Amino acid sequence: DKLHHLLRAMPKAELHIHIEGSLEPELIFALAQRNGVSLSYPSVEALRAAYAFTDLQSFLDIYYAGASVLLKAQDFEDMAMAYFRRARADNVVHAELFFDPQTHTARGVSFETVITGLTHACARAQAELGISSSLIMCFLRHLSEEEAFATLEEAMPFRSQIVGVGLDSSERGHPPEKFARVFAKCRELGLHLVAHAGEEGPPAYVWSALDVLKVERIDHGVRSVEDPVLMQRLARERVPLTVCPLSNVKLCVFKTMSEHNLATLLDQGLAATVNSDDPAYFGGYMNDNFVATFDALPQLTARHAYQLAANSFEASFVDAAAKSAWK
Ligand code: HPA
Ligand code: ZN
């Protein structure tokens, strides 16, 4: 119908996509074969059948295992190009891609290999598909501050290829404060700052992401609704929340999509956006997320759809001149 058509056809930006989470089972098997990597699942079907998650950690274990097939720059380029083609089909015109260098450097794949493949894909996305993009390097929060600093050091020769830094992986027990000094250093370097907070963790983690890390956007942030004072602040300062509805249901943050709080976030004036997080694992890309959410939440209207698209551009790290060219 009309609303579905609007959701699919409207231009949009994606701001919360872990590129390793776009690796479809078919590509995992193809890369395993190409690279001579052995997998602990006998088939594409068996791997996909293992995608039944109970919480964030149950997903992360299988997500890190899937990334083990990525060895060469070409693998990273192929993975990102497959994502960009899906994004193009969903009328995504701008994407900010998270990547997890530590998942790869821990396996002996160099930072240079990772960034070279991803940078090539970003250039091809512009040339072949008309999608602008940038890269956000995430620190794994279950690892130490020292390891994060070492990763930042490795990234320095490629500083110009990174628009910002983020914080992902296991949230509970790893509060933002653990990375206060790393983020202070990144801020001095002029990097944009974001962090996952309030996905499984409490509203206190959203407060400390804002006040200690000084992030510009909160990734997820859906548990902010438990704290009315926090909600007022997020609304007043128009702090963007990169919400990922299918992810939230798959990881049991909400039992069903009809319990999702996206409509509440928007109606309280927050700059919420819709994103896919790890589309190969959570059952869908951008338009699947929009359609599933609007189908489950009848209070969401065309006005909310326009607002979500506008929020995605407002919240992006595209410079002001390019943003005004979009309008
Ligand atoms: N949360 C935390 N870490 C992640 C996620 C997520 O949703 N996806 C990939 N790494
Ligand atoms: Zn995420």
* pLDDT value at residue 42: 95
What CATH number does residue 99 fall under?
3.20.20.140
Q: Residues 89, 98, 53, 221: what is their CA dihedral angle, to the nearest 10 degrees?
A: -100
Residue 323 falls within a domain, yes or no?
A: no
Q: For the segment 156-184, what is each residue's pLDDT rounded down to a tens digit?
A: 999 999 999 999 999 999 999 999 999 99
Which ligand minimizes its atom distance to the CA of 63?
Answer: 1
Ligand 1 geometric centre to CA of 327 (Å): 32
**pLDDT at residue 166, as a whole number:** 99
φ, ψ dihedrals at 165, nearest 5°: -130, 155
Per DSSP, the three-state class of 284 is coil
Residue 184's pLDDT is what? 98
pTM comes to 0.98
200 lines ligand 1 (CB under 6 A): no
300 occurs within a structural domain:
yes
Ligand 2: distance of its center to the CA of 16 in Å? 6
* Pocket flag, ligand 1, residue 21 (CB < 6 Å): yes
Q: Would you call 13 helix, strand, or coil by DSSP?
A: strand
Q: Which domain holds residue 174?
A: 2-315
ipTM of the complex: 0.96
With respect to residue 326, please indicate whether it lies within any of the assigned structural domains. no
Q: Look at phi and psi of residue 166 and say left if phi exceeds 0, alpha if psi is from -120 to 50, else beta.
A: beta
Pick the ligand that lies closest to the CA of residue 56.
Answer: 1
Tell me if 20 CB under 6 Å of ligand 1. Answer: no
Does 260 appear as a known binding residue? no
pLDDT of residue 327: 67
Q: Whose CA is nearest to atom 9 of ligand 1?
A: 18
Is the minimum distance from the CB of 219 to ligand 1 under 6 angstroms? no
User: What is the domain count for the chain?
Assistant: 1
| pLDDT less than 70: residues of the chain | 327
Residue 282 placed within a domain: yes
Say if 255 falls within a structural domain: yes
Domain presence at residue 163: yes
Q: What is the structure's pLDDT at 237? A: 98
pLDDT for residue 320: 82
